[in-house]
Amino acid sequence: MKANIPKGLGGPANMQGMIRQAQKMQEQMTELQSELDSREYEVKAGGGAVTILIDGKKQIKQLTIEPEIVDPDDIETLSDVLCAAVNEAIKKVNETN
């Protein structure tokens, strides 16, 4: 039994072309995702007292804390600033990806 393919839609050759195009798009998407994953973002919080370097995979690469924010009698403020910095860094990555 022969398939009845309407004229203008092409046949097997057109299907192969579409498959090749889809494969090319998949390769481009993989390359783009790899590029986004390797990007690094720097985020500051607490008026610059805390700096976070994060990559596109949301892995923290570096955390810098300025000495003036470290107060043994006020750990709560340091904790709040760290949370704000991490959340802002994740938000920045999500907006880009």
pLDDT, tens digit (0-9, with 9 covering 90-100), for 59-76: 999 999 999 889 999 999
Across 73-85, average pLDDT: 92
Q: What is the pLDDT of residue 9?
A: 56
CA angle 31, 33, 37 (to 5 degrees): 115
Q: How confident is the model at residue 11 (pLDDT cuts 50, 70, 90)?
A: low
SS3 for 63?
strand
What's the chain's average pLDDT?
87
Q: Is the pLDDT of residue 25 over 70?
A: yes
Instruction: Answer for the pair 68, 49: CB distance below 8 angstroms, yes or no.
Output: yes
Residue pair 56/96 in contact by the 8 Å Cβ criterion: yes
Beta bridge partners of 60: 54
Q: Is the pTM of this model over 0.85?
A: no
* Sign of the Cα pseudo-torsion (78, 69, 42, 34, in order): negative
